[in-house]
Structure 1
Amino acid sequence: MSLTRRLALSAVLAGLASPSQAATQSFEAFLEGLRAEARRAGISSATLSRALSGIRPSDRVLELDRRQPEFTQTWEQYRDARLSQTRIDAGRRAFADNRATLEAVQARFRVSPRVIVAIWGLETNYGGFTGNFNVIEALATLAWDGRRADYFRRELLAALRILDAGHVAPDRMRGSWAGAMGHPQFMPSNFDRLAVDMDGDGRRDIWESRADALGSIANYLARSGWREEELWGREVALPAGFDPNDARRENTRPLRDWARMGVRRPDGGALPVADVEAAILLPGGAGGQAFAVYPNFNVIRRYNPSNFYALAVGMLSDRVA
Structure 2
Amino acid sequence: MPSACRTLLLALLLSALTLQASAHAADAAFTQFIASLWPQAQAAGVSRATFERETRGLEPDYKLPDLALPGRPATGASAQAEFVQVPASYVKEATIARLAADGQRLMQKYRAALDQIESRFGVPGTMVLALWGRETDYGRYTSPYDTLRVVATQAYAGRRKDQYRDEFILALKILDEGAVARKDFRSSWAGATGLTQFLPSEYFKHGVDLDGDGRVDIWHSVPDALASAAKQLADKGWQPGVRWAYEVRAPANADCTLGVPEVKKPIGEWLRTGFAPFARISAGEQAQPASLLQPEGIYGPSFLTTANYFVIKQYNFSDLYVLFVGHLSDRIAGAGPFATPWAASTQLRTTSVAAMQKHLTRVGLYADKIDGKAGMLTRAALGAYQKSAGLKVDCWPSEAVLQSMGAAR
Fold in common (TM above 0.5): yes
Q: Are positions 1:194 and 2:214 aligned together?
A: no
Distance 1:189 1:114, change over 3 A: same
Q: Are positions 1:58 and 2:68 aligned together?
A: no
Q: Match of 2:28?
A: 25
Per-residue CA distance 1:259-288 (angstroms, 9 max, x = gap): 21122123xx66432311112211111132
SS in 2 for 1:284: strand
Separation (CA, whole Å) in 2 of partners of 1:37 and 1:109: 33
Q: CA RMSD in A?
A: 2.8
Separation (CA, whole Å) in 2 of partners of 1:227 and 1:310: 16
Q: Are positions 1:45 and 2:48 aligned together?
A: yes
Separation (CA, whole Å) in 2 of partners of 1:81 and 1:69: 24
Q: Are positions 1:137 and 2:149 aligned together?
A: yes
Greater RCO structure (CA 8 Å; 6+ sep): 1
Distance 1:37 1:287, change over 3 A: closer
Residue correspondence of structure 1 range 93-242 to structure 2 within 5 A: 93-145=105-157, 147-242=159-254
SS in 1 for 2:32: helix
Q: Are positions 1:75 and 2:87 aligned together?
A: yes
Count how many residue pairs are aligned between Structure 1 and Structure 2.
314
Residue correspondence of structure 1 range 232-311 to structure 2 within 5 A: 232-266=244-278, 271-273=281-283, 274-311=286-323
Of 221-230 and 132-141, deviating more is: 132-141
SS in 1 for 2:303: strand
SS in 2 for 1:285: strand
Separation (CA, whole Å) in 2 of partners of 1:298 and 1:63: 24
Query: 1:234, CA displacement in angstroms?
Result: 1.4
Distance 1:295 1:67, change over 3 A: closer
Of all paired residues, the percent bearing the same amino acid is 37
SS in 2 for 1:43: coil
Query: 1:22, CA displacement in angstroms?
Result: 1.1
Cα contact 1:62–1:142 (8 A) shared by 2:
no
Cα contact 2:247–2:301 (8 A) shared by 1:
yes
- Higher Rg of the two aligned structures: 2
Separation (CA, whole Å) in 2 of partners of 1:218 and 1:245: 33
Q: Match of 1:314?
A: 326
Per-residue CA distance 1:44-101 (angstroms, 9 max, x = gap): 1122133222322224436988363353322222222784422222222222322221
Cα contact 2:67–2:158 (8 A) shared by 1:
no
Separation (CA, whole Å) in 1 of partners of 2:115 and 2:22: 49
Distance 1:157 1:286, change over 3 A: same
Query: 1:132, CA displacement in angstroms?
Result: 3.1
Query: 1:15, CA displacement in angstroms?
Result: 4.4
Separation (CA, whole Å) in 1 of partners of 2:119 and 2:67: 40
Consecutive unaligned residues of structure 2, counting only runs of 5 or more, are 69-74, 334-409
Consecutive unaligned residues of structure 1, counting only runs of 5 or more, are none
Distance 1:119 1:30, change over 3 A: same
Counterpart AA for 2:24:
Q
